[in-house]
Amino acid sequence: MNVLIVYSTREISRNSSFSVSRLMFFLIDELKKHDIKVYFYSWGAKKESNQKGMNYLCLPFFHKIINKFSKNHRRNYYNDVVYQNIKHSNIDFVICSTFDSFEYYLNRFKAEQVIYWVHNYPDRTLLNQLLPFLTKKKFILVTPCINLYKRLWNELCPETLPFFYKHIPNIALPIIANDKMKSILKGFDFEYFNSVNFIHVSGAAINKGLHILLKTFTALKTKNKINFIYVGNKKNIYNIANVTIIEVPKMPYNELIELYNIADFGIMSSLWFETAPLSLHEMLENKVIPIITNSGGMQEITTNTKYFSVECPNDMDEWSNVINNCLTLSKEEIFKTKKDNYINYSKNKLSVTEWGNIWASLLQNMHSEYI
C-alpha cells in the first residue's frame, strides 16, 4: 500500500521542538512496520531532510520564484509540485492536513482515497467549507476529539454525522532522554524546590496567549514564592517582588523533560480554537497539572483529571484569580494531584505502537473496501 502525507512542517525528527514534527516522525515510522510505504511531502522546510530509514521529501521555500504569489497561490504551487512527483507512484490514499490540500487532492483522486486529518484548529468556518463536499462525495475526516466534532457538526448538519468521521486520538509522545543532554537551566540563579513552578511551552506566537500571561505574572500580587518559566527566543531572567520570570530558548524535545520535571502547573493559554494540543498530553504524561482555556477539545483531553480552567483567555483578572487558586494548594496537595492525574490519564493513554496500529487498521480497512 502506498500512502501520501501532505503536511506543513519544518522538519521530521523524534526530538524536534515542534510537536507536529514529532508526530509525523512516529506516524511514518509505525506505518512502515505494516508494509505501508509512505511518501511524505512538506512545504516550509528549509532543506531536504535525510533521516535514516525515512522516505520523504521536504520542499524548500523557493523565495525568488514564489514570493510574488499570494498565500493560496503559493500552496497551489507546492501541491502542483508534489502531484507531479507522485502521480506515477500508484498512490492508494492521501492524508491532508489543510483545507486547500484536501480540496486539491479531491479533484485528482477518488473521494474515498482522500483523508482529511484535522488534529488542530477546527472552527465553524472550516466546517462550513466542508459541507458542500458532504453532499457530493464521501471522504474520511480523522479527528482526535470526537465529542467536539459531534457537538459542532450537530449544530451545522446533523444528518451527515454518522457517515464520515473517524476517531484517532492524539498521544503523548515519548521523550527520548540523552546522556549528553545539557541543562537548559544552567546559569539561572533561582530557587525552584521551595517555590511553586508554572511553565508555558507552547511558544511566543500571539495566538498562544503568552503576552497576556507575562502581563499577568508581572502584575501578580502574592506572598508565595513562584517561578514562571516559558519557552521563548533567548535566555533571560528577572524578578518582580515574589515572582521570578525565566525565558529559555527553543530546545530539542528531549531537553523539555527538565522543565516538566520541576513544573507544578503547565499553562495552555491559547486564544484560538485548539482541538487537541500535544503539549497538553505531554503535561499529563509528565505529571504536570494543566491550566487550560475553555477552547476546543482541551476539556475533552482533561476528562477525569483535576485541572484549572479560564473561560475568557484575554482577561488578566481571570488569569490572576486562577493562578491564585492554584497557589491555595499545599505542596502535599500538588503532589497528590499530580499522582492522581497521571493514574487517571494513563488508564486511556495509547503507546506509539498502539496509535500506529489504529492508523494502519484504518488504512487497511479502507483499502479493502475501496481499492
pLDDT of residue 232: 84
Q: Which three cell numbers stand for residue 249?
A: 530558548
pLDDT of residue 37: 86
- What CA–CA distance (Å, rounded) separates 165 from 155? 16
Which of 291, 296, 290, 278 lies closest to 318 in space, CA to CA? Answer: 291
CA 306, 312, 314, 317 torsion: positive or negative? negative
Grouped pLDDT means (10 residues each) for the chain, 371 residues = 79 67 82 87 52 47 46 67 79 86 86 81 66 68 78 71 67 66 69 89 85 92 92 87 90 81 92 78 91 83 90 92 95 94 88 91 89 74
- Report the relative pairing of strands 236-240 and 243-249 from DSSP bridges: antiparallel
- What CA–CA distance (Å, rounded) separates 239 from 282? 28
Which SS3 state, helix, strand or coil, does residue 287 take? coil
The residue type of 164 is: F
- Tell me the DSSP string of 314-349: T-HHHHHHHHHHHTTS-HHHHHHHHHHHHHHHHTT-
pLDDT of residue 290: 95
The CA distances from residue 8 to 24, 95, 218, in Å, are: 10, 12, 35
Question: What does the pLDDT look like over 75-114, one tens digit per residue?
Answer: 677 778 778 877 778 899 999 887 778 888 888 888 889 8
The CA distances from residue 164 to 101, 104, 159, 197, 275, in Å, are: 18, 19, 11, 43, 18
- Rounded to 10 degrees, what is the CA torsion of 101, 102, 106, 110? 120
Q: How far apart are the two ends of the chain, measured CA to CA in Å? A: 10
pLDDT of residue 213: 93
